[in-house]
Amino acid sequence: MTTQTYTVTGMTCGHCVQSVSSELGKLDGVQNVQVDLASGAVTVTSQAPLDDAAVRAAVDEAGYQVAV
């Protein structure tokens, strides 16, 4: 298991959290996604390290951005 934390910008409500969680949950190997709306921190637990490009693409698909 591996855990990675990303900062996602633009989330303002529960629907935002649900969208980001849903898209990240579709990535291969993802076991759990936890989102802290106040800080924008998104913690992803997966079977193996995730490709950053895939994470960015999933967050982008949800309509948000991973902060650089």
Domain count, the chain: 1
The pLDDT value given to residue 4: 97
The pLDDT value given to residue 39: 97
Span 4-45, pLDDT tens digits:
999 999 999 999 999 999 999 999 999 999 999 999 999 999
Q: Which domain covers residue 18, as residue numbers?
A: 2-66
The pLDDT value given to residue 46: 98
Q: For residues 32 and 45, is the Cβ–Cβ distance under 8 A?
A: yes
Q: For residues 27 and 54, is the Cβ–Cβ distance under 8 A?
A: yes
Examine the pLDDT at 68 and tell me if it is beyond 90: no
CATH number at residue 24: 3.30.70.100
Examine the pLDDT at 55 and tell me if it is beyond 90: yes
Structure-token match 């898209």, residue found: 23
